[in-house]
Amino acid sequence: MNALWHGFADMGAVERDGAFVIARGDGAYVFDRAGNRYLDATAGLWFANVGHGRGEIADAVAAQLRRIAHYSNFGDITEPATQELAERLAGLAPVPGSKIFFTSGGSDSVDTAAKLARRYWHELGRPGKTILVGRRMAYHGMPAARTVAWDDAKALLALIEEVGAERIAAFFCEPVIGAGGVYPPPEGYLAEVRRICRDHDILFVADEVVTGFGRIGGAWFASSRFALEPDLMTTAKGLTSGYLPMGAVFAAPQVAEPFFAGGVWWRHGYTYGGHAGAAAAALANLDIVEREGLLDAALRLESSLHDQLSVLAAHPRVAEVRSGLGAVAAIQLADPAEGPALVKALRAHGISGRAAGQGAMQVSPAFVMTDEQVAELVDGFSRALNDV
Ligand code: PLP
């Protein structure tokens, strides 16, 4: 039973200690094969926004799979669920009139945005604009890319001066850096980099794979909460709450226009982009978010995590706690090498957790997590930190 090669893993350690097998989930909890219960600190990999075990999504998917699982979204072909989802997402988009390009997940969404940005400038007769700019600590490592400091808008200006705006296609920006270790933006940073991009004809790409679909709290997207009006917005994860893999790129009307004007064939797409079963999962997931007021629940979690996790900052093993924007936080270990041991200690105290970035213990719960469960999380973390 050891054929599985895990992602982001020291497989030697997995071979030695065995795998942690999650067999079932219910709301903010998951269960192993023996039936032991764990509070899910991370909502899987940042995605289970509506919580685990939602039969309603399973039923919607089953009904769709019985009609047809998937066919294609290439050329003029599509499926009703996919069309319905695109219309619904366009209605939620931070820029009215956006067009929706479906993918199979977050990496595909970023890949699509990168290709789309370059092709856009090519269509506008500016083929020299090919360089993609990302921020250090962020998720992105792309070809023909440059990086700038994650927290300093002037660093972006300096790079533009160095290489020339005429060579830069797009700037990729996670509104809150997630997998790099949870870094909320400095005050005013997002508005400033947005303005710099607009002033220099550089496409602003909001990577909302983590922050999208409510995780930012109080809005569907960080781009809406901060009025960023992104030229392109990449999403995945919370689109289906992870019930099936799916991503979507939102293209603002001015970016989509050259592709919709006629005569442009964009040879890009994914076999499972717009998968009808995944679209059915997304529609059922969005119904739950709306019906249960989960955008507000994420805003409640924003303050609840900020208030309750702060006590952990005093622990000698903790360097700092980063929180305060969205239903997302990190407990930064003073010694990142202690991450794997802490993950094991957390399990002994009924918490399923993981280290992101460099020893940043990820906290990104399902929006259904109650304030009492946040207290349970903090208690488990304190005990586990004492054990390491
Ligand atoms: N973009 C961001 C900001 C992410 O955090 C991730 C994954 O965590 C991705 C893109 C890639 O998404 P996926 O793993 O679905 O390909």
pLDDT per residue as tens digits for the range 322-339:
999 999 999 999 999 999
Mean pLDDT calculated for residue range 238-263: 98
Look at residue 243 and tell me whether its pLDDT is greater than 90: yes
pLDDT tier at 101 (50, 70, 90 boundaries)? very high
Output the pTM of the full model. 0.98
pLDDT tier at 246 (50, 70, 90 boundaries)? very high
> Tokens at residue 62, please?
């089953």
pLDDT tier at 144 (50, 70, 90 boundaries)? confident
How many C-beta atoms lie closer than 10 Å to residue 330's C-beta? 26
> From the alpha carbon of 106, which atom of ligand 1 is closest?
12
The residue length of the chain stands at 388
Mean pLDDT calculated for residue range 281-298: 98
Please state, in angstroms and rounded to a whole number, the distance separating the CA atoms of residues 33 and 53: 16
- How far is the centre of ligand 1, averaged over its atoms, from the C-alpha of 173 (Å)? 13
- How far is the centre of ligand 1, averaged over its atoms, from the C-alpha of 284 (Å)? 22
45-86 residue pLDDT tens: 999 999 999 999 999 999 999 999 999 999 999 999 999 999
Ligand 1 surroundings by CB, under 6 angstroms: 105-107, 110, 139, 174, 178-179, 207, 209-210, 236
Task: Extract the runs of DSSP E, i.e. beta strands, from 136-212.
Answer: 145-148, 168-173, 203-207
pLDDT tier at 1 (50, 70, 90 boundaries)? low
Q: Which residues pair with 133 in a beta bridge?
A: 146, 171
Look at residue 198 and tell me whether its pLDDT is greater than 70: yes
Please state, in angstroms and rounded to a whole number, the distance separating the CA atoms of residues 269 and 142: 19
Please state, in angstroms and rounded to a whole number, the distance separating the CA atoms of residues 306 and 211: 17
Please state, in angstroms and rounded to a whole number, the distance separating the CA atoms of residues 248 and 236: 6
22-48 residue pLDDT tens: 999 999 999 999 999 999 999 999 999
pLDDT tier at 142 (50, 70, 90 boundaries)? confident
Q: Which residues pair with 318 in a beta bridge?
A: 333
- How far is the centre of ligand 1, averaged over its atoms, from the C-alpha of 386 (Å)? 32
**Residue % of the chain over a pLDDT of 90:** 98
